[in-house]
Structure 1
Amino acid sequence: MNKAEFIDAVAAKTGLSKKDSKGAVDAVLETLTESLVKGDGVSFIGFGTFSSVARAARTATVPGTGKKVEVPATKVVKFKVGKALKDAVAK
C-alpha cells in the first residue's frame, strides 16, 4: 500500500474527504518526523514504539572484495512492534 492508497483507506474508514484525510495523514507523519529528529520517542500503545538511536562508527567489510571501509556514526530510526499489532499479524 502506498501513501495515496493509505489516504483513500483512511478517508473510507473515517468518512472524511480525501483532502481532509491527506491533511491528517501528513500532519501525523510530520509530527512523528519532528519528534524523532529531536530524539524523542513516539509510542502508540498496542501498535508500537518509534525511537531514534545513535549508531556508532565502525569498520565494515565489503562482501565482494573483502575491502575494509569506515562507516561513519549516524542516527537511525527503530520500531518496536506492540503486542496487539504482533498478535493481529500473527493470526
Structure 2
Amino acid sequence: MRKADIINQISEKTGIPKVDVLVTLETLFKEVKESLAQGENIYIRGFGSFITKKRAAKIGRNIKKNVAVEIPEHYIPAFKPAKEFVQEIKARNQKRNPQ
C-alpha cells in the first residue's frame, strides 16, 4: 500500500477531502521526523512507539579498497509496535492462514 492509497481510504471512510488528509498526514510525518531528530520518542497508545536506537561504534570494511573503516556511534529511527497491535496482526493472519 502506498501513501496515495492510504489517503484515498481515509478520505473515503471519513468524508474529509483528500487535500486535507494529505496535509494532515504530511504534518504527522514531519512532526515524527523532527521529534526523533531532537531525541524525543513518540508513544501512541495502542499503536506503537517511534524511537531512536543507539548504534555502537564499530569497525567496518571498504570492500573496494580492502581497508578497515571506523563507523562512529550513531542513532537510527525505529518503530516498536504496541502489544495490542501485534496481537491483532497475529489474529488476522491466523484467520487467513489456518494450519
Per-residue displacement from partner, 1:37-83 (whole Å, max 9, x unpaired)? 110000111111111132121024689xx974432322101211101
| Alignment map for 1:70-89 (pairs within 5 Å) | 70-89=70-89
In structure 2, distance between residues paired with 1:76 and 1:46: 23
Matches within 5 A, 1:1-91: 1-60=1-60, 68-91=68-91
Of residues 69-78 and 49-58 in structure 1, the stretch that sits farther from structure 2 once superposed is 69-78
SS at match of 2:40: coil
**Number of equivalences:** 89
| Distance of 2:74 and 2:61 partners within structure 1 | 18
Please give the TM-score of this superposition, normalised by the length of structure 1. 0.83
Q: Which amino acid aligns with 2:34?
A: E
How far apart in 2 are the matches of 1:20 and 1:59? Answer: 47
Alpha-carbon distance in structure 2 between the residues aligned to 1:57 and 1:89: 35
Report SS of the residue matched to 1:40.
coil
CA distance in 1, matches of 2:62, 2:82: 35
SS in 2 for 1:39: coil
The RMSD of aligned alpha carbons is: 1.9
Separation (CA, whole Å) in 1 of partners of 2:72 and 2:13: 44
TM-score by length of 2: 0.77
